[in-house]
Amino acid sequence: MVSMSVGIPFKSVSEMLTDTLREAILSRELVPGEVLRQRSLAQRYHVSEVVVREALRSLDGEGLVQLERRRGARVSNLSADEIDELCEIRILVEHAITRHAVPRCTAHDLRDAEQLLRAMDEERNPVKWLALDREFHHSLYRPGQRLRLNKMATDLRQMLERYLRFFLGSLHMFEPAQKEHRDILEAYRSKNVALAKKCAGKHLRRTADTIVKHLKAHGGLDIHTEAPRNYTR
């Protein structure tokens, strides 16, 4: 595990712990339903319980942790309703970003996006592919110069990240996503705002629908690789 004594200088200890716990949840080291005990976390990472509480509150805001009155915290369960709602919100934000970004997108921006797509064609590690995917979308957001909208899109993407990590490979989502990415890029290249919005919305909706269908078909049971346990390691 990451030592809390070493990290990026401009991040607080609470932010570093938040990053570490977030990655543990996304990688399934901490599984849905798992109890997170403040004292155990504080001892493991050599920080105060105040720092742990701050980190857990941040993760609660991201939807990765649930804070329960008098019962501490636990890793949030995956939910078909959650991903459906997050997708609805993200489509609205994406449409707003696209409206500003398409007219301002330059040849340089398009080349950057194309290079990222080529790298994604060759990558099948879900973590690495999703990192490229984030940068691809950000490369198209940036020309719009809407910092708050971009931040909202980033936050929503972060809430969806563990769904994408869990199911990207197992549901064979790479190829459909790449085709949709190229459709989005072509709409940007043609300066067609309406088409770019349509393609972006279709991409997000299809991704969410694929995961929602799987979760509902399996009752969410396939994601629980082991019974919830107290976090005392």
Same domain, 20 and 42: yes
Residues 131-176 have pLDDT tens digits of 999 999 999 999 999 999 999 999 899 888 888 888 887 778 899 9
State the pLDDT at residue 202. Answer: 96
CATH number for the domain including 107?
1.20.120.530
Q: Which residues contact 98 (CB under 8 A, 6 or more apart)?
A: 140, 144, 193, 196, 197, 200
Query: Which of 23, 46, 77 is at the close of a domain?
Result: 77
Judge if 72 and 97 occupy the same domain: no
Does some domain include residue 53? yes
Is residue 34 a part of any domain in this protein?
Answer: yes
- Tally of structural domains, the chain: 2
Q: Are residues 106 and 210 in the same domain?
A: yes
- Are residues 96 and 200 in contact, defined by beta-carbon separation less than 8 angstroms? no
Domain shared by 87 and 73, yes or no: no
Residue 128 and residue 33 share a domain: no
156 occurs within a structural domain: yes
Same domain, 165 and 51: no
Same domain, 63 and 136: no
Q: State which residues of the chain have pLDDT below 50.
A: 1-3, 5-8, 221-233
- Domain of 19, in residue numbers: 13-77
Q: In this structure, is residue 6 part of a structural domain? A: no
Bridge partners of 66, per DSSP, are: 74
Q: Residue 220's pLDDT is what?
A: 55
| Secondary structure of 130-198 in HEC code, one letter for each residue | HHHHHHHHHHHHHHHCCHHHHHHHHHHHHHHHHHHHHHCCCCCCHHHHHHHHHHHHHHHHCCCHHHHHH
For residues 68 and 85, state if they share a domain: no
Strand-by-strand arrangement of the 65-68 sheet: 65-68, 72-75, 35-36, 230-231
Residue 196 lies in a domain: yes
Residues 103 and 207 in one domain: yes
- Residues 176, 182, 183, 188, CA torsion sign: positive
Domain boundary among 26, 44, 77: 77
- The CATH number covering residue 22 comes to 1.10.10.10
Q: Are residues 84 and 184 in the same domain?
A: yes
Reported as a single tens digit per residue, the pLDDT across 32-44 is 888 888 888 899 9
